[in-house]
A and B are shown apart, each in its own frame.
Chain A
Amino acid sequence: MKKREFENNHVDIDVDKELFELEQEVMIQLDEYDVEFPGESEIMMTVDAIRPYVPVKENIWKTSYEHLSAIVKHSAYEVFHFSPIFWITNSLLLVISLIAIFSVELNPYLAMLFLAPLPTIAGLVEVLRSNNGMAELEMSLKFSWQELIISKLLVVGGFNLLINIIFTISISVLYPDIWIWKVTLYWLTPFTVISAVSLVIVSKFRQIHMVTGTLTIWVVISTLVSQTTIIEHIENLPATFYILVTAFASAFSIIKMIQIYKRGISYEFNH
Chain B
Amino acid sequence: MPEDQELIKEILRGSQAAMEVLMRKYYKHIYALVYRKVGNRDTAYDLTQEIFIKMIQRIESYSSKGSFKSWLYQVAVNHCRDYWRSSEYKQTSKHAELLDTIKCEQKSVPYIFERKEMREQVKQAIHSLPDIQREAVILKYFHHMKIQEIAVVTQANVSTVKSRLKQGLGKIAASLERGEESEKKRIRK
Question: Which residues in A have some Cβ–Cβ distance to B below 8 Å?
Answer: 4, 7-8, 11-12, 14-16, 18-19, 22-23, 25-27, 29-30, 32-38, 42-43, 46-47, 49-51, 53-58
- A33-B36, A46-B52 known; A14-B158 Cβ under 8 A: yes
Residues of B within 8 A of A (CB): 11-16, 19-20, 23-24, 27-28, 31-32, 35-36, 41, 45, 48-49, 52-53, 56-57, 60, 118-119, 121-123, 126, 140-142, 144, 146-148, 158, 161-162, 165-166, 169-170, 172-173, 176
Q: How far is the CB of A152 from chain B (nearest CB, A)?
A: 32
Q: Which residue of B lies closest to A21 (CB)?
A: B169
Instruction: Check A35 against B32 for contact (C-beta < 8 Å).
Output: yes
Partner of A35, one of B31, B57, B60: B31
Question: What residues on B are CB-neighbors of A12 within 8 Å?
Answer: 146-147
Taken together as a complex, chains A and B put the C-alpha atoms of A26 and B161 apart, in Å, by 18
User: Taking CB as reference atom, which chain A residue is nearest B18?
Assistant: A54
Residues of A within 8 A of B52 (CB): 46, 50
Distance to closest chain A CB from B162 (angstroms): 6
Instruction: List B contacts of A8 (CB < 8 A).
Output: 140-141, 144
Q: How far is the CA of A32 from the CA of B116 in the complex (A)?
A: 12
- Contact of B31 with A38 in the complex, beta carbons under 8 Å: yes
B118 and A29 contacting across the interface, CB-CB below 8 Å: yes
Residue pair A33, B14 in contact (C-beta under 8 Å): no
Decide yes or no: A19 and B165 within 8 Å by CB, A25-B173, A53-B53 being known contacts.
yes
Cβ-neighbour of B166 out of A11, A18, A27, A35 (below 8 A): A18
Beyond A32-B119, A46-B48, 5 extra complex contacts between A and B, CB < 8 Å: A8-B141, A14-B146, A14-B161, A22-B169, A35-B35
Contacts of A26 in B (CB 8 A): 169, 172-173, 176
B166 & A22 in contact (Cβ 8 Å cutoff) = yes
On whether the beta carbons of A37 and B141 are closer than 8 Å, the reply is no
Are B144 and A49 interface neighbours, CB within 8 A? no
For A43, the closest partner residue in chain B by CB is B27
Instruction: Collect the chain A residues with CB atoms within 8 Å of residue B118's CB.
Output: 29, 32
Contact among B28, B121, B173 with A37 in the assembled complex (CB-CB below 8 Å): B28
Are A55 and B12 within 8 A (Cβ)? yes
Q: Which residues of A contact B161 (CB under 8 A)?
A: 14
Q: List 28 interface pairs A-B (beta carbons < 8 Å), by A numbering.
A: A7-B144, A8-B140, A11-B146, A14-B146, A19-B162, A23-B141, A23-B169, A25-B173, A26-B176, A27-B141, A32-B121, A32-B122, A33-B36, A33-B122, A33-B123, A34-B119, A37-B28, A38-B45, A42-B45, A46-B23, A46-B45, A49-B49, A50-B23, A50-B49, A54-B56, A55-B14, A57-B14, A58-B14
